[in-house]
Structure 1
Amino acid sequence: MIFLLVGVALQRTPSAYVDAIRRAARQTGSMLLQYPMSGGIMAVMTPSGPDLTIAKTFVTIASPVTLPVLSYFSSLIVTLLIPSAGGHWAVQGAFRSACALGLHASVTRTAVGVAMAENASNMLQPFWAVSVVAIAGVRVQRVMGYTAITFAVSLVIYAVTLWLIP
């Protein structure tokens, strides 16, 4: 947040800051601006509790059998707001594990459900591709069609896997 604020202050206006980032990193500039925003979203969500509200909503309707799958789906929602894997687990990990223990559900499958959702959502927010597209010299938008298809396919495969594998 400090780097973001200093950058905006040095450029004098937010739009000048965005333009400077785009000029400095032509292929990935717009995506790089999302990093501090994601950190800010996580900082706001953790103490205020929308992430726990989403998680609790799914857990109230869960049973020991359905908790891993419902954790997967609620984790997909939360990970769109907190795309960092570490931040994602920091927000949901302890809560999910406690819910699994309380419901006598599989802690392992519940944790894997959270991780699978974070993995699938990486296809919609491909921060991992920033360096690849910069090296290849293509815009990140060219990659997004492929990653969206991968998201849709993995969304179904992961859900079915969590539901069917004991």
Structure 2
Amino acid sequence: MKTAFKLDAYPRRPYPPLSDPPTTYFDQLPARVMARRPAPRALAGGAAWWALLPGALRTSLASVAVLGTFIASFWLGLGGPAAPTVSARAATAALDAVPQTELVAYLLRPSAHLDASDLARLVDARPGMAETFLRPSPTELNEALDSQAAEETQYL
């Protein structure tokens, strides 16, 4: 079995106190740092002209190149294959193929979060189907009637 490690059981080495730097150390430091700096390397091939341009011009040319690439990719992307679109007639035909009872049962499920006013829009397309599902409460009827603006007194 291993014994537990205790740091206090090991003696510490004494560290020498810090001494002052030589008197000319800070005078010679910038020259020593600059002497270690690597020499600039020459650009290979035809890229030497790039280094001769001012920094602002190089930045603007790089920005124009990136922007041109973006515009070209966007422009060329428009001519690619379009997403398949479904015509309104095909969608209506597919919806007409669903039986009304199944459609109403789907819309009346608890997770649909529909109320009577949402289902009332179906009556515009197929009059007479409201008898199967549209049973508003008296409070819903009063709220719907109160929310409508009536300018003439004969409608009140």
After TM superposition, is the score higher than 0.5? no
**What's the TM-score once normalised by structure 1's chain length?**
0.24
Q: Greater Rg, structure 1 or structure 2?
A: 2
**What's the TM-score once normalised by structure 2's chain length?**
0.26
Point out the structure with the larger helix share. Answer: 1
